[in-house]
């Protein structure tokens, strides 16, 4: 074994520390690869004596402590992979002093500090691949990169850089195939042409503070990420025939102005397009039959802009479309016939000016739908029976329209809502995927009694039927819905007693039954005892804790005299707190279906000002 030159033990579930007998038994090793194991402890100092090593791969282990300076003595080393460990400490030029052959350096996902590095002259190496993601490099842009003229892969994401990007960075010769400087606070403008190779797979400048014009890029670009900056111009540079190689374009959450260019119709390879949260205006181009080459797209988000006009018919021809987000614009007219969008999972058209009835074909054609958001439009008529044939539907938001009529017993057909702990699949994009989804049937004119079939939806996490015209009793089996975390039936005409089964809702953290016509004793239960009077306001015939009214037969103390007792003072504080709780609570919680709690909270905050 002493003549062994290559040792690969990747992913072998190895544990423990690196022992010194490796040095004795394998002193002629040229390649040592122990990645994807559970090796812990520190990197031994003696590793610098393995003079024949040209590749050292300890990626994805549990190594800790500093990188030994002896690594700088490995004069044959070409590839160094130490990423995804728990290494820490400061690096200096001594760590690299004799690594003149080094071409690959991966120290990503560690707590290593590069601020002590001060190459007095040109570094001894010329790197092709540099991956320092999540290392501590900032606040200044690393000047030693100026000497690296052959870089193909550069990842400086999440490195704490808050500097103005230096002009030399874009001018130096390079052959970038992958460039990622995202999730920093890098400033400056990008309006100068970039000196990059003819074929760039990934260009990622997300989550910085770049301003002005989008960068001018020549050559082929496949994945472009510019979201979460302050860019304002240049959308036409990326939606044109010269950029027909683009697969993903994310320009979301910038300050882009102007109209979407007609050339959007010629993006033949596009799979994902996100222009959301900008200041774009005008109409979506009609394309006029030019979308035959725009048929691979899976995801479109134009939400949160100032777009207007009708939703163009060509969108209905996109047979590969999975997620469509057009919310928070000024689109008018009826929903176009999405005749070929049978794979659609998410349809979000909320907060526009759309009119007409909710189309029956949604329930017939869009059989894969899991999320349907039509909130805050001007739809009228009843909820079509066909919607309840969408067995995979998990989120239904029809709030703030002019819908009327009863809730149908067909609710029980929503199979995905009858399964406890069923969660949305990872592919469902939260609007980049950021959209805060929920289920709403609030603020319409729905009426009649709530059908008992509703209680079969045991997978519901939030049920909000507030601000309608429901009558009759609360379903007696409401306690079957044990996944509920939010229940809001406020501002209706519910009557009768609160069902005792409600005490079985042990996970309930928000309850609002205010402003109905409920009567009788409020049930007592461990979770119900945590709610104050604001949950029951506007029901004068309710009695028992926590409301003021006592129930007939209850014993209560009568306080005589003209002075306040300590209990009176405590009650005043309690009622004041409950009043404030009512003012805040009434508007802050809106329901969600089969939703992770963090999504629900985000959604409630998003709409609490409506």
Task: Give the SS3 label for residue 242.
Answer: helix
**Separation CA 297–CA 428 (nearest Å):** 15
**Separation CA 589–CA 581 (nearest Å):** 12
**Separation CA 349–CA 398 (nearest Å):** 10
Residue where one domain finishes, among candidates 330, 353, 381 = 330
**Cβ 185 vs Cβ 206: under 8 Å:** no
Q: Are residues 354 and 253 in the same domain?
A: no
**Separation CA 385–CA 118 (nearest Å):** 70
Q: Are residues 387 and 518 in the same domain?
A: yes
Asked whether residue 311 is domain-assigned, the answer is yes
Asked whether residue 479 is domain-assigned, the answer is yes
Biggest CA–CA distance in the chain, Å, is 101
What is the overall mean pLDDT for the chain? 84
CA distances from 157 to 181, 215, 430 (A): 4, 18, 22
Q: Are residues 288 and 378 in the same domain?
A: no
Asked whether residue 565 is domain-assigned, the answer is no
**Buried (b) or exposed (e) across 246-258, using 16+ Cβ within 10 A?**
bbbbbbbbbebee
**Separation CA 488–CA 462 (nearest Å):** 8
Q: Which residue has the tokens 């306001």?
A: 537
Asked whether residue 455 is domain-assigned, the answer is yes
Give yes or no for residue 110 having a pLDDT over 70: yes
Q: Are residues 502 and 475 in the same domain?
A: yes
**Cβ 310 vs Cβ 333: under 8 Å:** yes
**Separation CA 327–CA 301 (nearest Å):** 9
pTM over 0.85: no
DSSP for 341-360 reads -TT--EEE--SSEEEEEPPT
Asked whether residue 388 is domain-assigned, the answer is yes
Strand locations in 234-305 (E): 248-250, 257-259, 272-274, 279-282, 299-301
Render pLDDT for 431-466 as a digit per residue (tens, 0 to 9): 333 332 334 556 678 889 999 888 888 888 888 899
**Cβ 552 vs Cβ 479: under 8 Å:** no
Report CA dihedral (120, 121, 124, 128) to the nearest 10 degrees: 100
Task: Give the SS3 label for residue 363.
Answer: helix
**CATH for 272:** 3.80.10.10
Q: Are residues 353 and 449 in the same domain?
A: yes
* Direct distance between the N- and C-terminal alpha carbons of the chain, in angstroms, rounded to an integer: 73
The boundaries of the domain holding residue 278 are 234-330
Give yes or no for residue 428 having a pLDDT over 50: no
Render pLDDT for 234-288 as a digit per residue (tens, 0 to 9): 999 899 888 888 999 999 999 999 999 988 888 888 999 999 999 999 999 988 7
Q: Which letter does DSSP use for residue 340 in this model?
A: T
Name the phi and psi angles at 314, rounded to 5.
-65, -25
**Separation CA 433–CA 597 (nearest Å):** 16
Tell me the two tokens of residue 480.
């079957």
**Cβ 538 vs Cβ 561: under 8 Å:** no
* pLDDT score, position 213: 92
Render pLDDT for 573-582 as a digit per residue (tens, 0 to 9): 433 333 333 3
DSSP H helix total and E strand total for the chain: 5, 42
From the list 78, 77, 80, the residue with the least C-alpha distance to 58 is 80
The residue with greater pLDDT, 386 or 593, is: 386
Name the phi and psi angles at 209, rounded to 5.
-130, 35
Q: Are residues 314 and 359 in the same domain?
A: no
Q: Which residue has the tokens 């729905």?
A: 446
**Separation CA 605–CA 556 (nearest Å):** 41
Render pLDDT for 505-522 as a digit per residue (tens, 0 to 9): 999 999 999 999 999 999
Q: Are residues 356 and 491 in the same domain?
A: yes
Q: Are residues 353 and 326 in the same domain?
A: no
DSSP H or E run through 597: helix 597-607
Asked whether residue 86 is domain-assigned, the answer is no
Residue where one domain finishes, among candidates 264, 298, 330 = 330
**Separation CA 97–CA 81 (nearest Å):** 17
Q: How confident is the model at residue 194 (pLDDT cuts 50, 70, 90)?
A: low
**Separation CA 149–CA 20 (nearest Å):** 38
Give yes or no for residue 430 having a pLDDT over 60: no
Asked whether residue 258 is domain-assigned, the answer is yes
Give yes or no for residue 192 having a pLDDT over 70: no
Q: Are residues 514 and 608 in the same domain?
A: yes
* pLDDT score, position 121: 67
Residue where one domain finishes, among candidates 330, 360, 388 = 330
Q: Are residues 351 and 381 in the same domain?
A: yes
**Cβ 82 vs Cβ 67: under 8 Å:** yes
**Buried (b) or exposed (e) across 23-45, using 16+ Cβ within 10 A?**
eeebeebbbbbbbbbebeeebbe
DSSP for 530-582 reads G--GGGTTT-TEEESTTSSPPPTT-------SSS--HHHHHHHHHHHHHHHHH
**pLDDT (mean) for 81-100:** 94
* pLDDT score, position 198: 64
Tell me the two tokens of residue 385.
């029976």
What is the total count of domains within the chain? 2
Q: Are residues 325 and 355 in the same domain?
A: no
Cα Rg of the chain, angstroms:
31
Render pLDDT for 48-71 as a digit per residue (tens, 0 to 9): 989 999 999 999 999 999 999 999
**Separation CA 435–CA 600 (nearest Å):** 11
**Buried (b) or exposed (e) across 546-568, using 16+ Cβ within 10 A?**
bbeeeeeeeeeeeeeeeeeeeee
**pLDDT (mean) for 394-405:** 87
Count of Cβ atoms closer than 10 Å to residue 193 Cβ: 11
Asked whether residue 68 is domain-assigned, the answer is no
Q: Are residues 540 and 406 in the same domain?
A: yes
Tell me the two tokens of residue 340.
């070929």
Tell me the two tokens of residue 199.
């074929």
């Amino acid at each position: 074994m002493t003549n062994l030159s290559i040792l690969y033990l990747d992913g072998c579930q190895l544990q423990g520390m690196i022992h010194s007998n490796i040095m004795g038994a394998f002193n002629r090793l040229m390649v040592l690869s122990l990645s994807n194991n559970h090796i812990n402890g520190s990197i031994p100092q003696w590793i610098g004596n393995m003079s024949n090593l040209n590749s050292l791969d300890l990626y994805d282990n549990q190594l800790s402590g500093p990188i030994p300076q002896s690594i700088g003595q490995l004069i044959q080393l070409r590839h160094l992979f130490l990423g995804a460990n728990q290494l820490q400490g400061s690096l200096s030029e001594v760590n690299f002093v004799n690594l003149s052959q080094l071409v690959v350096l991966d120290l990503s996902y560690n707590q290593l500090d590069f601020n002590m590095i001060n190459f007095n002259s040109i570094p001894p190496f010329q790197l092709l691949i540099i991956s320092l993601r999540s290392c501590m490099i900032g606040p200044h842009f690393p000047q030693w990169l100026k000497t690296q003229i052959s870089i193909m892969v550069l990842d400086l994401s999440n490195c704490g850089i808050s500097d103005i990007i230096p002009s030399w960075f874009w001018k130096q010769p390079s052959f970038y195939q992958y460039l990622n400087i995202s999730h920093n606070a890098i400033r400056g403008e990008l309006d100068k042409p970039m000196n990059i190779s003819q074929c760039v797979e990934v260009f990622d400048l997300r989550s910085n503070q770049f301003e002005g014009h989008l960068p001018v890029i020549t050559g082929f670009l496949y994945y472009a990420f510019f979201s979460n900056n302050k860019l304002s111009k240049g959308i036409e540079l990326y939606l044109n025939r010269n950029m027909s190689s683009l697969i993903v374009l994310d320009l979301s959450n910038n300050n882009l102005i102007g109209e979407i260019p007609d050339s959007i119709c010629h993006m033949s390879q596009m799979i994902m397009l996100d222009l959301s949260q900008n200041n774009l205006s005008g109409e979506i181009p009609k394309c006029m039959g030019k979308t035959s080459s725009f048929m691979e797209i899976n995801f479109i988000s134009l939400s949160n802009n100032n777009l207007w006009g009708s939703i163009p018919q060509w969108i209905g021809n996109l047979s590969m479309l999975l997620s469509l987000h057009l919310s928070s614009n000024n689109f008018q007219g009826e929903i176009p016939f999405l005749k070929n969008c049978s794979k659609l999972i998410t349809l979000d058209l909320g907060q526009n000016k759309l009119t007409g009835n909710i189309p029956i074909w949604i329930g017939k054609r869009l059989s894969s739908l899991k999320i349907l958001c039509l909130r805050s439009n001007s739809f009228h008529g009843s909820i079509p029976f066909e919607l309840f044939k969408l067995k995979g539907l998990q989120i239904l938001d029809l709030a703030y329209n002019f819908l009327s009529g009863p809730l149908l017993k067909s609710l029980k057909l929503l199979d995905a809502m009858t399964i406890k702990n069923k969660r949305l699949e990872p592919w469902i994009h939260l609007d980049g995927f950021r959209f805060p989804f929920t289920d709403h049937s609030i603020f319409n004119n729905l009426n009649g009694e709530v059908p008992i079939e509703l209680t079969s939806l045991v997978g519901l996490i939030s049920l909000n039927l507030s601000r309608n015209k429901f009558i009759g009793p609360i379903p007696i089996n409401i306690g079957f819905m044990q996944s509920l975390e939010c229940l809001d039936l406020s501002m209706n005409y519910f009557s009768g007693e609160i069902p005792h089964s409600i005490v079985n809702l042990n996970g309930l953290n928000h309850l609002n039954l205010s402003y109905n016509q409920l009567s009788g004793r409020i049930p007592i239960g461990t979770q119900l005892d945590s709610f104050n009077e604001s949950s029951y306001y506007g029901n004068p015939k309710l009695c028992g804790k926590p409301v003021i009214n006592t129930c007939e037969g209850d014993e209560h103390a009568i306080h005589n005299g003209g002075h306040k007792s300590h209990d009176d003072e405590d009650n005043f504080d309690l009622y004041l707190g409950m009043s404030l709780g009512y003012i805040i609570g009434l508007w802050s919680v809106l329901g969600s279906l089969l939703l992770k709690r963090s999504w629900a909270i985000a959604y409630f905050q998003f709409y609490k000002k409506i």
